[in-house]
Amino acid sequence: MTEHNAAGSRWSDLERPPLNTTALRRGLIVPGSLWASLDVVTATGSTNSDLAARADSLPEGAVLVAEEQTRGRGRLDRNWSAPARSGLFVSVLLRPGPDVPVERWGWLPLLTGVAVATAVARTAGVDTALKWPNDLLVTVGGKEGDDSAKEERKAGGILAERAGDDAVIVGIGLNVTLTESELPVPGAGSLALANAVSVDRDPLLRAVLRGMERWYGAWRDAAGDPGESGLQEAYVAGCATLGRPVRAELPGERQVVGDAVAIDGDGRLVIATEGGGREAVGAGDVVHLRAS
């Protein structure tokens, strides 16, 4: 983990300036705020791993941001990599208990998705959608009125991991200025490719963390109840998976195919199967299928 230091290395790419750590701290670490500390490092393997290693000594609300992640992880052990200062790579440490029962902690990645999607829409001017459970989708390509050339692409992802008995680390990876040639995999996207009106990462990060703070406070005040806090309704409103035919690839090489019809009280995706039944999926990989 490398702290920001030499000015030369910080400004090696003027189109991708470094985050302003001082201004971020001034705007986010204020009395009464959830955020207790904010550190920005030049490069690290994984911000989630770094916070996990120090979780016992850190307060709730510790934030770690990397300008470059070399071993970032997504769900299902997928790698997440991008050029330096081309995105947001941030992890936060949360301690929801004892206010929130452990069985409701599974809502944290969905809560984060709502906060990120809202921040991107407001700050970057990009229409976003959430793919269950934790991917941020943007629309790339196509001209005004020509939907045939438009593609729905993943521009961000969220990974929540337990750290000990009482902590959860939530990691966010968001592609901001990646060009087509820099994308880690075909079919990925970025805010720039989605014609963002702004790709300034400082206000975007502030908006993400402020949105997380608002939703986390409401959710915790409601003892993690997704209905009472309004979280379930907000997630459903922004979820692109609902109303579509899907294939859920589950552990053990089992698949469930059908129409995604609901998000239940546990944050699971409810699929209406071809046989007329319903199955709630809590883990696995969901593929959006084309309507026949």
Ordered structural domains, the chain, with CATH: 2-237 (3.30.930.10), 242-288 (2.30.30.100)
Three-class SS state of 61: coil
- Segment 52-90, tens digit of pLDDT: 999 999 999 999 999 999 865 555 455 666 899 999 999
pLDDT of residue 11: 45
CA distance 69 to 88: 10
Residue pair 273/257 in contact (Cβ under 8 Å)? The answer is yes
Q: How far apart (Å, rounded) are the C-alpha atoms in residues 16 and 116?
A: 21
Q: What does the angle CA 219 – CA 223 – CA 225 come to, to the nearest 5 degrees?
A: 65
Q: Which amino acid is at 112?
A: T
Contacts 24+ apart (CB under 8 A), 270-277: 271/246
Confidence at 205, pLDDT banded by 50, 70, 90: very high
**Two structure tokens written together for 255:** 């698949």
pLDDT of residue 7: 38
CB 162 within 8 A of CB 174: no
- Encoded amino acid at 115, one letter: A
235-266 b/e (C-beta count within 10 Å ≥ 16 → b): beebbbbbebbbebbeeeeeebebbbebbeee
| Tokens 């997380």, located at residue | 212
Residue 253 or 47, more confident: 47
Amino acid at 109: P
Using CA atoms, how far apart are residues 102 and 243, in angstroms rounded to an integer? 29
Buried b (16+ CB within 10 A) or exposed e, 47-63: bbbbbbeebeebebbbb
In the DSSP assignment, the letter for residue 291 is P
Dihedrals phi, psi of 78, to nearest 5 degrees: -80, 145
Q: For the beta carbon of residue 281, count every other beta carbon within 10 angstroms.
A: 20
pLDDT of the residue at 143: 62
Work out the mean pLDDT of the chain and round it to a whole number: 91
Structure pTM?
Answer: 0.92
pLDDT at 272 over 90: yes
Question: Taking the CB of residue 210, how many other CB atoms lie within 10 A of it?
Answer: 18
pLDDT given for residue 13 in this prediction = 63
